[in-house]
Amino acid sequence: MAARQTVCVTGAGGFIASWHVKLLLSRGHYAVRGTVRDPGDGKNAHLKALEGAGERLQLFKVDLLDYDSVASAVAGCEGVFHVASPVPSSRSTNPEVEVIAPAVTGTLNVLKACYEAKVKRVVMVSSVVSVGVNPNWPKDKAFNEDSWSDEDICRKNQDWYYLSKTLAEREAFAYAAKTGLDIVTICPSLVIGPLMQSIVNASSKILLNYFKGDRETVENRLRNVVDVRDVADALLLAYENPEASGRYICNSAPIKVSDMINILKSLYPTYTYPRSFVEVEESSTYSSDKLQKLAWTLRPIEETLRDSVESYRAFGILD
Ligand SMILES: NC(=O)c1ccc[n+]([C@@H]2O[C@H](COP(=O)([O-])OP(=O)(O)OC[C@H]3O[C@@H](n4cnc5c(N)ncnc54)[C@H](OP(=O)(O)O)[C@@H]3O)[C@@H](O)[C@H]2O)c1
């Protein structure tokens, strides 16, 4: 049995972080500090109900922009999983305040607190949006970790979320180079899978939109998706493997929207799905070869879709 180790997960009540907290608790030897903005808020109640939470989960009230609150959660931790960042469902009207500052200043606050606390490794969740906005990348080649999104293009397109993730990840590696702090980033594609929390997060809304029945026609683009539980596994692999370094794209095999809907139809025939598809130019694809070398394995898409729908039904989001 490995010795007890204290780790911190920021934004613990969110979609990805909730699964990650569950995974850490299931290992038995991690004591977990989860940061949330309001520990009393009912939307975080699922965390307290997790197996092992009574003995090994502590919730800390933290706002990423309040350095002292971040530092108090991180002090005494060996590892930190920085997951929290705003993920807006629509275009922000005040992007600097609502999206960029919490992502960039928030990340720098977490990293500074980790440095001061002599944390051994920080694993941070970035995104493929910090990889794929790169017009110089060859059109026929899957994106890999060498590609960085062009900040000027993100700004020009007012893709504030893309910009926030790109800036935050770049700042993280600049901080690592300056201080020697060990930082590894995980860059997931669109994350889907079962909800643990009652609030529907932005990426789950994209899947749920296919059930609304108000869209006859959808674009048949190639979707890069990944199961939320596979993202949690990737975070832990990147933390526990001493060889892990740099960035890791975290993506399963790309799938056409029509194929995804056909799987859903075969599993749940009674919902109303889009009926026709408009073919679009092939979208980008992303290679997870580097992550697979850390022995990362993936759930089949059928399992991801079935478990997602079952959770929507359990929460009363779908009939
Ligand atoms: N879902 C995806 O498809 C996807 C793909 C790639 C990368 N990611 C990244 O994965 C991470 C988690 O995303 P998610 O999908 O799990 O979204 P989520 O459920 O919306 O979780 C985001 C979390 O960040 C917290 N947060 C936001 N601003 C904060 C602040 N100023 N101080 C403290 N906490 C703050 C939120 O806390 P509150 O509950 O208090 O708002 C929430 O817990 C993010 O870094 C996101 O960029 C997500």
Atom number in ligand 1 closest to CA 17: 16
CA distances to 84, 87, 150 from 11, in Å:
4, 12, 27
Active site residue 205: no
Any idea what the Cα angle at residue 188 is, between residues 186 and 189, rounded to 5°? 160
| pLDDT value, residue 232 | 98
Of 197, 230, 218, 234, which Cα lies nearest the Cα of 279?
Answer: 218
For ligand 1, mutation pick of 35, 82, 87, 100 (most atoms within 8 Å of CB): 87
Beta strand 255-256 with 222-223 is antiparallel
**Looking at ligand 1, which atom is closest to the CA of residue 102?**
31
CB distance 200 to 18 below 8 Å: no
Give residue 102's pLDDT: 97
The second-level CATH assignment, the architecture, of 5-193+225-252+284-298 is 3-Layer(aba) Sandwich (3.40)
Residue 104 CB less than 6 A away from ligand 1: no
**Best of 8, 9, 16 for a ligand 1 pocket test (most atoms within 8 Å of beta carbon):** 16
Describe the strand order of the beta sheet including 79-82 as a list of residue ranges.
Answer: 57-61, 30-36, 5-9, 79-82, 121-125, 183-188, 246-250
Residue with tokens 């933390």: 239
Q: What pTM value is reported for the model? A: 0.98
What is the residue-level pLDDT of the chain in tens, covering all 319 positions? Answer: 567 899 999 999 999 999 999 999 999 999 999 999 999 999 999 999 999 999 999 999 999 999 999 999 999 999 999 999 999 998 888 999 999 999 999 999 999 999 999 999 999 999 999 999 999 999 999 999 999 999 999 999 999 999 999 999 999 999 999 999 999 999 999 999 999 999 999 999 999 999 876 778 899 999 999 999 999 999 999 999 999 999 999 999 899 999 999 999 999 999 999 989 999 987 799 999 999 999 999 999 999 999 999 999 999 999 9
Q: And the tokens for 254?
A: 């790309």
Q: How far apart are the CA of 277 and the centre of ligand 1, in A?
A: 31
Question: 194 CB under 6 A from ligand 1?
Answer: no
Nearest CA to ligand 1 atom 37: 11
Predicted pLDDT at 182: 98
CA distance 210 to 213: 7
Nearest-angstrom CA–CA distance, 124 and 142: 23
Q: State in Å: Cα 306 to ligand 1 middle.
A: 23
Task: Please indicate whether residue 83, judged by its CB atom, sits closer than 6 Å to ligand 1.
Answer: yes
Ligand 1 centroid to residue 3 C-alpha, Å: 30
Question: Phi and psi for 123 in degrees, rounded to 5?
Answer: -110, 125
Question: Per the structure block, which two tokens stand in for 185?
Answer: 């980033």
The residue from 43, 61, 156, 165 that is catalytic is 165
Distance (angstroms) between ligand 1 centre and the Cα of 140 equals 32
Residue 287 CA, ligand 1 centroid: distance in Å: 23
What pLDDT is attached to residue 2? 66
Cα distance between residue 214 and residue 273, in whole Å: 8
CB-ligand 1 contact for 107 (6 Å cutoff): no
| Closest C-alpha to ligand 1, atom 7 | 127
The span from the CA of 207 to the CA of 304, in Å, is 11
For the CA atoms of the chain, what is the radius of gyration?
Answer: 19
Is the Cβ atom of 247 under 6 angstroms away from ligand 1?
A: no
Q: Provide the 10 A C-beta neighbour count for residue 248.
A: 27
CA distance 151 to 318: 38
DSSP-derived secondary structure letter, 94: S
Give the pLDDT score at 208. 94
Q: Is 87 in the pocket of ligand 1 (CB under 6 A)?
A: yes
Ligand 1 centroid–CA 163 distance in Å is 15
CB count within 10 Å of CB 284 equals 20
